[in-house]
A and B are shown apart, each in its own frame.
Chain A
Amino acid sequence: MTALGETARIALAAARELADGESCFVGIGIPSDAALLARRSHAPRLGLIYESGVFGADPPGPPLSTGSPEVAAGAAMIADGLTAFGELQAGRISCALLSAAQVDRFGNLNSTVLGPYEAPKLRMVGSGGAHDIACLARRLIVVMPHDPRRFVERVDFATSPGAAPRDTARRRALGLGPGPSVLITGRGRFEMTADGWRLAATLPGFSAADALEGLPWGTPPGPVPGVAFDAAALSALAALPHLHEPSPAP
């Protein structure tokens, strides 16, 4: 089991969060891989939605861009970005998957800058649709490779807002979704609590200590169970075109 690559482990664990018949707003990389894996295993009617306006996608290979031919090929519908984000804002898409360069205790995600905004140590790509997804998704799952530099107490820039208690009240007032509820790393599954992320389960081959290694948060009050990947999911994984490798932390 430990022979599985990190992207494969995250995709397997995140796919378990998605139910058949759901609609899922996904970005490129592990989010797309995980949703596709779910669709090819236990959730054959999972609707993959990309911000480029593609609905019901079933990529024959790993796309580089949400506007790539792999996203369009064999899709159920090609509309436009207004339609995709409009459906999301109206609350008519059931869940979303996001990744980022940094995640903090309350699930704020950073894809904008490392360091201060006006004088960044590293300027990154910016929100794209990430802020919009984190605000509007009815249910949000975060996926991140286990790289301690990515897990921080407070992100340098909260591109995509999280679920701190004061943010939860603000979210209700603005008619937004609840924010991130589950974090899947390469080693564990975390759930959001009033105190932030808390380890809820470990992935096969990893202990709780492994899953918490280098993280500034996440310690559970007691022992946690292990996640088991079932045979159907593993065989669906083997049949998938090659997965996105995690990019190194900037």
Chain B
Amino acid sequence: MVRDHVRPGQTLFLGGFGHAVPFALGQEIVRQGIGGLTLCRSGADILFDQMIAAGVVRRVIFGYVGNPGVGLGHAFRRAVAAGTLELEEWTNFAMILRLHAGRLGVPFLPARILGIGDQTPATAAAARIACPYTGTELTAIPALVPDVALIHAQQADDEGNVQLWGVDGDTVEGALASERILVTVERIVPAATLRAAPERTRLPAHRVTAVAEVPWGAHPSWVDGAYGRDDAHYRDYDAVSRDPATLDRWLDDWVRSGGGARCTDLLTDDDLAALRTALGGAS
């Protein structure tokens, strides 16, 4: 799926606002060495950091890059210091509006933010406009239309209708803003199962380019109803990513040698059972 649909230099939206982060898809891109990428989303966690560390990212369009609740994105921080990563820095609300404008097919959306405080080069370049009705000064937040969205979800049918529930953030926003959507799911289900609860379908088949069944494809993030968040893994990542050589060995183990869904080979059965029954998991 990745080989067929992701090209070097493309702009990729990565789904998952803490929940259902598409680790298997992102790590497969690293394995295939598809480089020169631009990654975008509002709040990005350690999948961004891993892909930056692996050298496949040229540019990030973002509101936040870090390890939520733990600390900084160390590979991100080093790449900025080394000048090897281009930054297009917005805020989370601005990124959501950029994607929403892309989803709506309009060139921009007005907002009240970004008119005060220090601006990044990207936000300083955003146009100031006057409301045509009231004259109020607003920021014209430009649309963002990524080439490809990488999404992980609970389930899909074999037609490609995708059901995703639980915490969304900007995941559906970014998927529907994108030209193409690649999806991994915990399970493929019969069409009748999906159609029994169509309100859970967030991405319709005609917009979905490809679907693959990849259980545990969002580990170490979580999937509502399947497994809880592996907070220990996020904390461990903070320790290993502080040193580039240590991180490189860690990437060999967790990403280059298999990665993604292969976390089931690296975690013990007890670990997996604990995550399955953790808060947010299968209960």
Contact = CB atoms under 8 A, between A and B. Distances in A.
B117 A108 contact: yes
Given A81-B42, A126-B64, A174-B112, A69 B228 contact: yes
A80 B95 CA distance: 13
Contacts of A122: 77
A60 B279 contact: yes
Measured as residues with beta carbon below 8 angstroms from the partner, the interface class of chain B is: 35 or more
Contacts of A136: 112-113
A242 interface: no
B2 interface: no
B192 to A, nearest CB: 26
Nearest to B170: A81
Interface string A59-73: 011011111111111
Interface in A128-165: 128-132, 134-136, 157-161
A72 B93 CA distance: 20
A127 interface: yes
A135 B138 CA distance: 13
A232 interface: no
A236 interface: no
A125 B65 contact: yes
A65 B81 contact: no
28 contacts: A51-B92, A52-B169, A64-B68, A64-B69, A67-B19, A68-B222, A71-B167, A78-B167, A81-B169, A81-B170, A82-B173, A89-B112, A112-B89, A122-B77, A123-B72, A123-B80, A125-B73, A126-B65, A126-B89, A127-B90, A128-B64, A135-B116, A136-B112, A159-B117, A170-B116, A174-B136, A176-B116, A247-B71
Given A64-B229, A67-B17, A127-B92, 20 more contacts: A51-B43, A51-B92, A61-B279, A65-B18, A66-B68, A67-B167, A68-B19, A69-B229, A69-B281, A72-B166, A72-B167, A85-B93, A123-B77, A123-B80, A129-B43, A131-B114, A132-B92, A159-B118, A161-B117, A175-B136
